[in-house]
Structure 1
Amino acid sequence: MTNVVQFREPTPDASQVQTFAAEADRARLTGPAVKAVLRAVEAWEGSNAEGAALLGVSESTWDRMKAGRWEGVLSQDQLTRASALIGLFKGLHLLFADSMADRWPKLPNRGPVFDRLTPVQAMIAGGIPRMLETRLYVDALRGGL
């Protein structure tokens, strides 16, 4: 007779799940999130229009962010976009050990998520759901799921 021990993943406490709903959390996370998204879009050689669309801000706000003159707080949706983009950037750098990590978002893609668009185009057109799907797609490619 063999004893079987089952392992269960701990269920996260709802109070520990980051939803970006609390103003204090958004204020605390905005600076680092903006800095990371600016870096990712720059690495991807994205235009100001693309960066603004990906983050869900106007081009004039994007310009102020780039110049370090924006003192706002990102919304819940904007922080969700930032989280997806930051995760995608990290996932690409784990998947590719060369410059492909930064070229991939701007290359036409035949993957089922992209319909021959570039990932950047697909994420702009599809908003948050497509951004999250793109991040999951890259995580699955690298075996992270």
Structure 2
Amino acid sequence: MVRMLDDLQVNRGQQARLLDLSERTLQRALQGDLPKRLSVDQFTRMSLVTGIYKALRILFVGEASKVWLTRPNGRRTLNGQRPLDYMLSGGIPAMLTVRQLLDADRSGQFGDAAAEDRARAAKVGVRVVEG
């Protein structure tokens, strides 16, 4: 989990917030001392992060997949925010929304992306998904 978030350029404090863990618990887990219990919310967050990571790796080539969360996004849903900030402020519902946007992109629906956004994405390494 942490390796995925590291790959997406999410720092430890943000990782802890996304996963609903204290930074201390996250640090102990990195040293092999895993929490004995996780809540349903924490498992849900981990599942969403995994799905977001997978979708980004499928949709984008190379560096584009690693920086997508940390760049401002003009989609109507995100309103110019970085997807990471949107998820940090909105918790599980926002994480689910980001996951759904990426899944829509994977299926060729492009969620709420405008035509110019799709054209611009094609120039920065978005894979074309034929479906």
Q: Are the counterparts in 1 of residues 25 and 35 from structure 2 also a CA contact under 8 Å?
A: no
RMSD: 1.4
What is the CA distance between 1:144 and its match in structure 2? 6.3
What is the CA distance between 1:53 and its match in structure 2? 0.4
TM-score by structure 2 length? Answer: 0.77
The structure number with the bigger radius of gyration is: 1
Moved more, 97-106 or 67-76: 67-76
Question: Larger RCO: Structure 1 or Structure 2 (Cα < 8 Å, ≥ 6 residues apart)?
Answer: 2
Do structure 1's residue 111 and structure 2's residue 71 form an aligned pair?
no
**Structure 1 alignment gaps of length 5 or more:** 1-36
One-letter code of the match for 1:58? S
Following TM superposition, where does structure 1 have runs of at least 4 consecutive aligned residues deviating by more than 6 angstroms? none
What is the CA distance between 1:78 and its match in structure 2? 0.5
One-letter code of the match for 2:18? L
Aligned residues: 109
TM-score by structure 1 length? Answer: 0.70
Identical columns (%) = 34
**Residue matched to 2:46:** 82
Q: Distance in 2 between matches of 1:71 and 1:130?
A: 25
Do structure 1's residue 44 and structure 2's residue 20 form an aligned pair?
no
